[in-house]
Structure 1
Amino acid sequence: MAKGLQGFSWTMLLLFCAIQELGSWAVHTAVEGPGLGQPGDPALLAGGRVKRGWVWNQFFVVEEYTGTEPLYVGKIHSDSDEGDGSIKYTISGEGAGTIFLIDEITGDIHATERLDREQKTFYTLRAQARDRQTDQLLEPESEFIIKVQDINDSEPRFLEGPYIGSVAELSPIGTSVMQVMASDADDPTYGSSARVVYSVLEGEQHFTVDSKTGVIRTAVADLDRETQDRYEVVIRATDMAGQLGGLSGSTTVTIVVTDVNDNPPRFPQKMYQFSIVETAPVGTAIGRVKAEDFDVGENTDMTYQVKDEEGVEMFKVTTDSNTQEAVITVQKPLDYESKKVHTVVVEALNKFVDPRFVDLGTFRDQTIVRVSVLDVDEPPEFRPPSNLMEVQEDARVGSVVGVVTALDPDTANHPVRYAIDRSTDSERIFDIDAKTGAIVTGKVLDRETAGWHNITVLAMEADNHSQVSRASLRIRILDVNDNPPELATPYEAAVCEDAKPGQLIQTISVVDRDEPQSGHHFYFTLAPEATNNHHFSLLDIQDNTAAVHTQRVGFNRQEQDVYLLPILVVDSGPPALSSTGTLTIRVCGCDSNGAIQSCNSTAYVVSATLSPGALIALLVCVLILVVLVLLILTLKRHHKSHLTSEDDEDMRDNVIKYNDEGGGEQDTEAYDMSALRSLYDFSEIKGGDGGGGPGDGGPGRNPASELHALPQWVQSPDLDFSVFRDYICRKVEQADEDLSVPPYDSFQTYAFEGSDSPVPSLSSINTWSSSSEQDFSYLRGWGPRFRQLAALYAGRRGEEDSEES
């Protein structure tokens, strides 16, 4: 084949050489002015126009040249070349100097390498004509192209494989399956090297291919997936339009035959047999049957149904979507004694039917299923299944409420015994006769305590207590009128002293625990003991309520502040029952609008007339007030704990001054001062030099006993004041060390001046105040409880005592 290609190439080469010799033409390039504009150009010096131009042939080179000599491509030539060798030809561009060489004198171009058009179709180069002596351009540089001429050296290739197609079975002849396409690397614009035709190498019995388009079609109409579901078809592509000497390539196409629903379901058996016990509950599965279908996928989906009337009533058929089986279940309770064998006709149908193939045959099949019922020992059955009985609540113990009946459904018909499930009647309110099933009362009934009773009755075979059945029984207790009506609440009312006759003061309602079928109807009247009542009247409103009105003008709560009004209430029976209730009426003082202001004796309960919403609102208000008080107390305590640290506090605002000098000696006569002196132990103060703890006011003093340790007073004024001063100073020290004392307490004191006073005024406070106004800032370090006292007694003695304090 290589030799053939080589011979073909040489043939083409000779042909192109002849074309070059016969069909050459000149390519002219007009240059205005000095040509290339090089210095020294004669045209440039003359200032005239010189027309020059290139002359060469169209350049081609045949691909895949295998000769030993360089392949002649063509010749470039300038019309200014006079053949004296003064012009030097050169080329530049793609492959210049490597693939393509040029003769500098003649301008002949040769290809020195083997070219492949499928890799590169043309080369772009530029030609120059230069003066050999000066190397100046004589012609403008010109671009030219060398085309690589194609030969048929590439076979067709199927580049998109592997190919897999599909076609439905039983498709008609000529049904399109798929399209294949081959590509040829040769030049499609030159000759027939790239013209491809298709043909079938293998599988032509079932498929054909269009020679131009590559479309594969069915050749037969009896493709059957159940017979063969896959075909391997070999397709060939040949170039040169299939002529002799053309190259070819092939590929294998896999064609899958897809399924259509052309096969009906078929039961492998014409009859199936199953058995089940008669006590099987409704919904119990009896068995499974399955029809076969040679189709695949959704074409095998089936539905099943029961065809005969007896089977439809007793049994149900469903389809298992996973296994496509028919599941036969019990739809109604079975009874061996009634029927021992059931025959069921089950039909299978395709779920999805292709209408194109309905005429090929029926798409359904039937089979017979025989169900044998097995006998078991069954418990008794209650007949009829009534579950409601009624009895009067005043029925005597032992009264018959009703009778239950149960029978053994088995052929043996064993006798039945009855009992009550005591877990449903633990108080034994009812009993049952074990043989007859009669239910009787076991205790006194009370509808108001329990209006309904739910009990469970047991029925069992006499010789086999394991065969037991249960029935729920509801017993309703019928009401009798055995409860008298009563006032709804202990009513209390209020009437204003200035009430007028006919004024409504209270509406009365009653309650009755009975529930007569015709409804309640109550009658109201005043009790016989209130027939002489001239203060109030009672009106029966005829809607089971009554109204109490005033019957006189005005009341006087000083004369009588409480009235008790007995009211008689009677129901409608039978028999009619009655009761007497008392309405308490209080006489109260009211304002001009009739609002109650006050009542004598026990406070009138306002809450009785308040609505629940008002009571809730009142409670919420009280709760808010309590929270606010607690919050204020907490803030006040917190403020007290920080007040002692404020050095700039002025305690003078807390001192309460009494400028009244009093009655002098009359004060001592009015009050027994000896009683005050007796509270203190004078000897303790004088002998206060012993040991003691801090804060005791001095060594050896006990703070706890100082409240009762003030000594007996002597008649000396100096001694009286010194004792008092010493006592106050000790109290100041105790207060300074007591951290639990609030810091801003103030209190009032009355200083004892002794038995006599040499000064005109008996008020030490007044004397001190008139002499000078003293700043109390130096007392800030003292105990807050006794700062005022120290100030008072410091002023009592004048300058002498003030220096000492």
Structure 2
Amino acid sequence: MSNMRNISTRLSILVNLSILWPCILSLNFMNIRTQEMNKGNHIRVKRGWVWEPLYVTEEQEVKKPMYVGQLKTDSDGHDDSIKYVLFGDGAGSIFVMNEYSGKISVLKKLDREEKPFYTLRAQARNRYTGVPVETESEFVIKVLDINDNEPKFINEPYIAEVLEMSPEGTYVTQVIATDKDDPTNGNNARVVYSILQGQPQFSIEIKSGIIRVGSQMDRETKDQYQVIVQAKDMIGEPGALSTTTTVIINVLDVNDNAPKFPQKTYEMSIIESGIAGDIVGTLLAYDIDIGKNAEITYSIEERGDYNMFNISTDSLTQEGIITLNKLVDFESRNRRYNIQVRAENTNKPELFDTATIRIYVVDVDEPPVFLERQYFMEIPENATVGSYVGSVTAKDPDNTNAIIRYDILHSKFSGLFEIEPNNGSVFTIKSLDREVDYWHNITVTATEAKFPALVSHVAVFIRVMDVNDNAPQLQSLPDIYVCEKARIGQTVYTVTAADKDEPKPSQPFSFTQPPEESINANFTIADNGDNTATILTAQEGYSFQDNPLFYLTVIISDNGTPALSSTSTITIKVCDCGIDNNTQSCGKGGYFFTFMNSGVVIAIAVFILLILVLALLVHVRFRKNPNMISEKGEDLKENIVKYDDEGGGEEDTEAFDITGLRHHTVMRERKPKRTIRTDIQSMYRLSLGLGPDVAIFKEFLSEKLEEANTDATVLPLDYLHCYAFEGTGSLSGSLSSLSFTEANVSEIDSYY
């Protein structure tokens, strides 16, 4: 124990010497330089300052002024005539100087990390005169460091990653700690690193703080480590200070594990009524890797019944979904299927595992099954009601062999047929007609007698076979013409026949004439053998005037069993086909013009000529008096008055004030009535058969209009005004009972 204390004391002395060594060298150098100068120049050296090395150890408790050192001049005679004065950094507050002795004391605890040294100035004066005895001198009081600061980690927190199975020595991360102590003062700031927790998986370099892999790790065993690192100053010597930090190291996954099935054999089941695509079951293989390294792809190996099922991979759950690929049947011999499933790593197929799956077929009560997918039946259209059409058959696929009942679903054709519920025989219940519907589609159901919910359906197509029950008929014919100048054997028209029965190309229709018409016939008919016949002329020329129309009887027969025939009459019109002897012009002119002869044409021409002569006379008359029509037109335009309001007669005058209907904008002064002239000379106009003279008639209307506009007792505007005027010049005199004299006018006015 005493040896340890001696060693500690010696180390402290060495530390202090190392700190003061620069000052000692400086003083020695100054003394040597002064001596050399004195030797060289033989000049008397002036007296100066004398002081000790000045330093204060940090963190010392100071209860009273603590002595640091002394400054004095060699001219001090110890008679108190010299006054020492201290200036500079911390003078008076931190450091004080005895003005008589020059001793310096510190007043409080210092912290090197806060301030490592203080620069001060000292002055020596004559106490009585105040004159400086020595020049002002600058000196330094150094704060000696002690190990009072522990290391501190920077850049926390520390999180690192490393791949699993990484080899030893792989770099992981680096930690760094700093110490505020003086790095030049011994080992106070020299830090070393060590791992307190995390070995042997990790190691650390003692000086740099670099963490490396200490041994290989398996992520599937442990995927995260918390490594505790210690930083210690003074190179770990006694009295050193330390601190710790936690480094979180995540182990990254490497694709080094194959998928594994929890068990090697699985059992599943599927009902026999399942259809292709139904899910049989699911299975899951586990890969202890993570992320993409754990992706699995499933497949069925080509062993056993591999083609009966499919398997797919659910990318979300990583499950293998087994589905039915082909239909299964419990009643067959195969009631169990074996397949082998392979689960391989998607990104590394060489990593895989296999499992065997046994799939059992489960029996279910199935509906009846028809022996055929669809049925085709035939029946002739002339079959009697109740005739047998055909049969359908269904069987129970289960082992129970249940009783089956048949029925027909309701449709528009279901009313024509019925089915025997016990044996599936189909019969007709109404008459059939191929020309109305030649195909009938019905749906037959088969139901288990004990379980009506088990129903099957099948389509039955019934074809109605044709029977020759329709005679051929001529198709619609246009107007047929024959030219008057036609020659014997000339083609008039080609007719076509059609039959509603099913066409039989090998059995064409036949066209004939009645025997009584074949003798001395005007036309003959030639059968073309292709369901058409050609009408030919049988005489030389035809006369419209003698016989404008001819009738041709045609007998059309089919070759069915039994054969049917029909008789049709064709009308042939005689036409003057013109120079080119073409019947096309006959259809354009119409049948009416066939009766027109040359006399009629001449009469029409004379009539048209008379109309033209009359039009010419009117034209000449208008040219002689061109203003006649225009004047009449103007007069008519001026005297047309439109009334939109309908009056109510005499009673209407009490309904509203009629004065508002008067035309006030044309009121003029009342003028005396003029005597109407009756001696108008118009003999010339009478000779032409025209009406009264326009000028006189216009004057008459003007006077009447003026009287109506100025008369306060005029009739309402909606009252009908009658103006009568008879032209003069008639030799027989007037036949009218009206005379427009003043007396008559007065009577009319007073009457109204």
TM-score, normalized by length of structure 1?
Answer: 0.51
Name the residue aligned to 1:393. 381
1:364 has 2:363 as partner: no
Partner Cα distance (2:484, 2:26) in 1: 151
- The answer to whether the Cα contact below 8 Å between 2:647 and 2:719 also exists between their aligned partners in 1 is no
CA-CA distance at 1:694 after TM superposition:
11
Residue matched to 2:215 = 220
Question: Residue 430 and residue 490 in structure 1: after superposition, are their counterparts in 2 closer, same or farther (change >3 A)?
Answer: same
Q: What is the CA-CA distance between 1:382 and the residue it aligns to?
A: 2.4
Partner of 2:501 in structure 1?
514
After superposition, the Cα gap between the structure-2 partners of 1:249 and 1:585, relative to the gap in structure 1 and judged at 3 Å, is farther
| Structure 2 gaps, min length 5 | 1-11, 32-57, 66-109, 116-144, 595-629, 638-644, 664-674, 686-691, 711-716, 728-738
**Amino acid paired to 2:164:** E
User: 1:521-560, aligned counterparts within 5 Å?
Assistant: 521-522=508-509, 531=518
Contact 1:314 1:330 in 2 (8 A): yes
What does residue range 37-76 of structure 1 map to in structure 2 within 5 Å?
none
Displacement of 1:364: 0.5
Per-residue CA deviation, residues 552-611 of structure 1 (Å, 9 max, x unaligned), is 8987766666555555544454555443445555659999995555323599xxxxxxxx
Report SS of the residue matched to 1:260: coil
Relative distance call for 1:437 and 1:534 in structure 2 (3 A) is: same
Instruction: Give the letter aligned to residue 457 of structure 2.
Output: R
The superposition leaves residues 785-804 of structure 1 with CA deviations (integer Å, 9 ceiling, x where unpaired) of 989948999xx979999999
State the one-letter code of the partner of 2:399.
T
Counterpart of 1:170? 165
Aligned to 1:655: 635
Give the deviation of 1:311 after TM superposition: 3.9
1:263 to 257, 260, 263: 257
Aligned equivalents of 1:8, 1:494: Cα separation in 2: 154
CA offsets 1:504-550 (integer angstroms, 9 cap, x no match): 87664444333347588455566767647977676666665566677
The offset of 1:348, in angstroms, is 4.2
Structure 1 pair 505–228 and aligned structure 2 pair: CA distance change class (3 A): farther
Quick check: 1:290 aligned with 2:284? yes
Segment drifting more, 196-205 vs 9-18 = 9-18
User: How far has the Cα of 1:327 moved from its partner?
Assistant: 4.0
Residue in 1 aligned with 2:390? 402
1:457 corresponds in structure 2 to 444
1:448 match: 435
Aligned position for 1:470: 457
Distance 2:456 2:507 in 1: 43
CA 1:786–1:438: 2 relative to 1, 3 Å? closer
- Say which SS state the counterpart of residue 589 (structure 2) adopts: strand
2:163 counterpart letter in structure 1:
A
Describe the SS at the equivalent of 1:655.
helix
C-alpha distance in 1, partners of 2:546/2:18?
Answer: 154
Aligned-partner residue type, residue 456 of structure 1: T
Contact 1:529 1:566 in 2 (8 A): no
Aligned amino acid, residue 223 of structure 2: D
| Structure 2 CA distance for aligned equivalents of residues 513 and 244 of structure 1 | 127
One-letter code aligned to 1:371: Y
Q: Is the 8 A contact 1:306 1:344 kept in 2?
A: no
| Cα distance between partner residues in 1 of 2:319 and 2:506 | 64
Secondary structure at the residue paired with 1:469? strand
- Residue by residue over 1:440-465, the C-alpha shift from the partner in whole angstroms, topping out at 9 and shown as x without a partner, is 44443322222222223333456665
Counting only pairs closer than 5 Å after superposition, residues 767-782 of structure 1 correspond to structure 2 as: 768=696
Deviates more, 1:471-480 or 1:170-179: 170-179
Instruction: Confirm whether residue 487 of structure 1 aligns to residue 474 of structure 2.
Output: yes
CA distance in 2: counterparts of 1:451 and 1:393, whole angstroms:
9
Distance 2:531 2:191 in 1: 113
Instruction: Tell me, in whole angstroms, the C-alpha distance in 1 between the residues paired with 2:652 and 2:360.
Output: 116
Residues 225-254 of structure 1, C-alpha deviation per residue, up to 9 Å, x if partnerless? 121110123567899999999999875432
Match of residue 145 from structure 1: none
1:373 corresponds to which of 352, 362, 374? 362
CA–CA distance in structure 2, aligned partners of residues 525 and 781 of structure 1: 91
After TM superposition, the score normalised by the length of structure 2 is 0.54
Q: Which residue of 2 aligns with 1:599?
A: 590
Deviation at 1:209, TM superposition (A): 5.9
Asked if residue 207 in structure 1 is aligned to residue 135 in structure 2, the reply is no
Aligned Cα root-mean-square deviation (Å): 7.1
User: Could you say which residue in structure 2 is the equivalent of 1:342?
Assistant: 336
Cα contact 1:265–1:364 (8 A) shared by 2:
yes
Give unmatched runs, 5+ long, in structure 1: 23-64, 69-113, 120-150, 604-649, 658-692, 703-732, 739-752
Question: Distance in 1 between the 2:593 and 2:174 partners?
Answer: 113
Provide the secondary structure at the position in 1 that maps to 2:414. coil
Letter of the 1:388 counterpart: F
CA offset at residue 471 of structure 1? 2.4
Contact 1:283 1:329 in 2 (8 A): yes
| Structure 1 counterpart of 2:136 | none
Distance (Å, rounded) in 2 between the aligned partners of 1:304 and 1:542: 74
Q: Residue 349 of structure 1 aligns to a residue in which SS?
A: strand
Deviation at 1:256, TM superposition (A): 1.5
Equivalent pairs, count: 575
Deviations 1:469-498 (A, max 9, x none): 332222222334333333343544567888
Contact 1:479-1:516 at 8 Å conserved across structures: no
Equivalents in 1 of 2:276, 2:164: separation in Å? Answer: 45
Q: Displacement, 1:163?
A: 3.8
SS where residue 434 of structure 2 aligns?
Answer: coil
Letter in 1 for 2:201: H
Which whole-Å CA distance do the structure 1 matches of 2:449 and 2:319 have between them?
45
Letter in 2 for 1:392: P
Q: Per the alignment, do residues 292 and 338 of structure 1 end up closer, same or farther by CA in structure 2, a change over 3 Å counting?
A: same
Shift of residue 269 of structure 1? 3.7
CA contact (8 A) 1:156 1:196 kept: yes
User: Contact between 2:646 and 2:718, CA under 8 Å: does it hold in 1?
Assistant: no
- Partner SS, residue 306 of structure 2: helix
State the secondary structure of the residue aligned to 1:387.
Answer: strand
Q: Is the Cα–Cα contact under 8 Å of residues 565 and 582 in structure 1 kept in the other structure?
A: yes
Distance 2:568 2:431 in 1: 29
